[in-house]
Amino acid sequence: MSWSFLNWSLDLIRYGKTKSLKRANWLRLFDVPKRWFWHFYIVSVCWNGFLLFVNLNLIYHRQSYPSWLIAILDVLSGVPRPDSQVPQLSTALVQLLVWLHSLRRLLECLFVSIFSDGVMHVVQYLFGLGYYITLGLTVLCVDRIGKGTASLSQVDWLQVTGFVLFICASLLQHQSIVLLAGLRTGKSGAVETFAHRMPKGGCFQLVSCPHYFAELLIYVSLGFVFGGLSLTWWLVVLYVFFNQALAGQLSHELYVSKYQSYPKDRKAFIPFVL
């Protein structure tokens, strides 16, 4: 019984290539294709695009949020807010960057990544769908409990740093996703295999999962755009750190066990550190 519970717990943590092929048949009943990752990003593009739209309407046209959204934010943030309060511009900027990030990931899932028959648990799938809905609401909650206002004329060096870091981290993640796709194609660009090969090139020379490291940097960059003072957002960053560190470590262990020639000095997640 406890063994089944352990297997079930591991099944909720692992997905894709780190999910063992030798699994009980009953566990496979909960599998959904990992290639459905794009569902997360289409939900995010639609939902976070909508939240950005209502926020810009409030900032520039003084149009209040829909009452159901105000009710949800009141519950989540515990801070009732007068309808007339204008949101911080940094919030709109973070919303825009979250939207751009989701759009890029959606396009990568649809047109760049080459997915195998890897799977994830249906609970992970539902969690992923809910994650980007909650993330958008969290961004708005940060605004409610934040202090002070920000306008374009008040943009400071921390926000500029955040913006630059966002662009660099996005480029790193895109490059890594392209390199992973390249492991499955031949010189002509045609798909040759769905196997998991040893990654190389770019920041794969330093870490097994530079795209996970880039994800962490993207969330850190948004913390800077928020002005660096939002505890709520740093808790989101902490979640992403543990989530991506775990996924990175599992991938790293898989590579080390699979490839005898795997570079010994290559870290799992953070270059030279972890």
Summarize as ranges the residues that interact with ligand NAP (CB under 6 A): 16-17, 34, 37, 113-116, 118, 173, 180, 183-184, 196-197, 199, 211-212, 215, 240, 243-244, 247
Q: What is the CA radius of gyration of the chain?
A: 20
Nearest distance from C-beta of residue 248 to ligand NAP, angstroms: 9
When the beta carbons of 27 and 178 are compared against ligand NAP, the nearer one is 178
Residues 152, 225 contacting (CB under 8 angstroms): no
DSSP string, 19-78: S-S---HHHHTTEEEGGGHHHHHHHHHHHHHHHHHHHHHHHHH-PPPPHHHHHHHHHHHS
Q: How far is the CB of 73 from ligand NAP (least distance, A)?
A: 22
Contact assessment for residue 125 and residue 32, using Cβ atoms and an 8 Å cutoff: yes
**CB proximity list for 111: less than 8 A, separation 6 or greater:** none
140 vs 180, beta carbon nearer ligand NAP: 180
CB of 243 to ligand NAP, least distance (A): 5
Please name the residue ranges forming H helices in 78-121: 89-111
User: With respect to ligand NAP, which residue has the nearer C-beta, 150 or 209?
Assistant: 209
Question: Residue 211 or residue 252: which is nearer to ligand NAP going by CB?
Answer: 211
Q: Which is nearer to ligand NAP, 88 or 251 (CB)?
A: 251
- Using CB atoms within 10 Å of the CB of residue 192, give its burial: 0 to 12 exposed, 13 to 18 middle, 19+ buried: middle
Q: Work out how close the CB of 208 gets to ligand NAP at its nearest, in angstroms, rounded to a whole number.
A: 9
In terms of CB distance, is 87 or 248 closer to ligand NAP?
Answer: 248
β-pairing, 119-121 vs 31-33, is antiparallel
CB of 2 to ligand NAP, least distance (A): 28
103: Cβ–Cβ under 8 A, 6 or more apart, which residues?
41, 45
> Closest approach of Cβ 55 to ligand NAP, in Å?
22
Which residue type, as a one-letter code, is found at position 171? L
